[in-house]
Amino acid sequence: MTDPKKKIPSLVKDQRLIQKRREQMIEAAVSLFIEKGFHKTTTREIAAKAGFSIGTLYEYIQSKEDVLYLVCDAIHQELEERLMPVLKEETSGRESLVLAIRRLFEIMDHMQDQILIIYQEAKSLPADTLKYVLNREEQITAIFEQVLKKGIEDGSIDMNPKEAKLMAHNIMVLGEMWVFRRWALAKRFTLEEYIEKQISLILSQIS
């Protein structure tokens, strides 16, 4: 139910320190992965940019792939933290949906580089670890499923509840599309136009 995270073992005991060092390393890794991708980034570079030595890096992780996992998880974390507030609003499911979609797309625009990391590099995770990341992705998708169901219940959305999950995936993917088809879309639309048009198209499916 809650958010199961993979435990990455550390040689260091002090939990505070672990958190601090991992934040440093994630920040360093994100910018490096954005710049050159996971494979072309070296562990040395990550340690250097994080401000400590390669030896220290390996006190807090066990392999380079651990860093990738921490990065993916942090990105999902940020995505979720940015998305959740919009759901607090007390409105109809339909309005909630529109707000959430808009927010999602704005987040996608804002975090485009990070989103790309997940899309392009997650495959390099060991199969086990990958599951945790995909799980998290599914949970975020489930948020939209919930909003849709709320709308169906309060009558503001007209659709078969069985299709809520698919619809939720569609929404997520249309958001991500702004990131990984940006090379084509940005030639034609501003973010605002993109949001407006997609919301309008989605609404035409639930009336």
Side-chain half-sphere exposure of 30, counting CA atoms within 13 A: 19
Nearest to 130 by CA among 74, 80, 89, 73: 73
User: In this complex, which beta carbon is closest to DNA, that of residue 46 or of residue 171?
Assistant: 46
Q: In the set 8, 21, 114, 137, which binds DNA (CB under 7 A)?
A: 21
Among 23, 35, 40, 192, binds DNA (CB under 7 A): 40
Rounded CA-CA distance 39/23 in Å is 21
**Which of 11, 84, 186, 201 touches DNA by CB under 7 A?**
11
Is residue 196 a contact point for DNA (CB under 7 A)? no
Q: What angle do CA 101, 104, 108 make, to 5 degrees?
A: 140
Of 47-55, 75-83, 127-135, 197-205: span binding DNA (CB under 7 A): 47-55
Residue of 23, 54, 155, 181 interacting with DNA (CB under 7 A): 54
Residue 197 makes contact with DNA by CB under 7 A: no
**Is residue 52 a contact point for DNA (CB under 7 A)?**
yes
Residue 7 CA to residue 77 CA, distance in Å, equals: 15
- Classify the C-alpha dihedral 25-26-31-32 as positive or negative: positive
Give the binding site for a copy of itself (CB under 8 A).
Answer: 37, 39, 116, 119-120, 123-124, 134, 137-138, 141, 163, 165-167, 169-170, 173-174, 177, 180-181, 183-185, 188-189, 194, 197-198, 201, 204-205
Nearer to DNA, 18 or 203 (CB): 18
Instruction: Classify 166 in phi/psi space as left (phi over 0), alpha (psi -120 to 50) or beta.
Output: alpha
**CA 180, CA 48: separation in Å to the nearest integer?**
30
Largest separation between any pair of C-alpha atoms in the chain: 59
Q: Measured from the CB of residue 44, what is the shortest distance to DNA in angstroms? A: 6
Site residues, DNA (CB under 7 A): 11-14, 17, 21, 40-44, 52-56, 58-59, 62-65
